[in-house]
Amino acid sequence: MIQRRYIAPLACLLLLTPDQVSSAQRPKQSPKTRAYTIDLVQSQVTVTLTQEGFIARRYSAHHVEVKNFTGKIEVSEKDETQINVEVEAESKSLTNVDQGMTEFERKEFHAVVNNMVLESDKFPKIKFVSVSISDAQKSGETRGFTLNGDLTLRDATKRVSFPVTVTITKDQLRATGEAKLKQTDFGIKPYSGKLGMIKIGDEVKINFTIIAKR
């Protein structure tokens, strides 16, 4: 004989249809996303450093390209404001592209960046991981929003935010934008040398054009 305390749960189970039982047991599916991989050949990231020392008469700013970086961007098919971004760059791939700079000057510049500023041997990667977007706007295939995320530079991770314009199609994503940050926010002392003749400003400007494909 079935005891009374088992009758109620058993009755509830019998009232469930097979589809309902299957649905209850089936794990929840995550929303579908479109994944794009960064095309390094077509993408470009440029870092601009301001020069405040005496040598500013010759170089008011230094332009540095990030030559080696990888990343992926995931976009929700249901809600395109749901975007996940991960980008990782090699510290040693930062290359000065100033026109008119001699090879000796360029070599010295790279030595300072790798050995004193970024400490590239100790911290070989620079990484950005998005957290959220805000102020989203849409016009046709173009979206504009503020991208918020965590930037890891050397041994510090800080939250940064910057405006981005994105054009999305089924097979390709194109993102452009400009970010500004301060070296001191990441525990980096702006370089100063040659008795003050060379003095780099604290603020760094990053311009990027990212092409990512499915």
- Architecture of the 29-213 domain: Beta Barrel (2.40)
Longest dimension (CA), the chain: 98
pLDDT of residue 198: 85
Helices (H) and strands (E) in the chain, counts: 3, 12
pLDDT of residue 10: 38
Altogether, the residues listed in the chain come to a count of: 214
Asked if residue 53 lies in contact with residue 198, where contact means CB atoms within 8 angstroms, the answer is yes
Domain ranges of the chain: 29-213
| The pair of three-digit structure tokens given for residue 116, joined into one six-digit string | 């004193």
pTM given for the model: 0.82
**Which positions of the chain have pLDDT values less than 50?**
1-18, 20-24, 27, 29
pLDDT of residue 13: 36
pLDDT of residue 170: 86
Query: Distance (Å, rounded) from C-alpha 131 to C-alpha 150?
Result: 7
Instruction: Count other Cβ atoms within 10 Å, centred on residue 206.
Output: 19
Residue 203 bridge partners (DSSP): 182
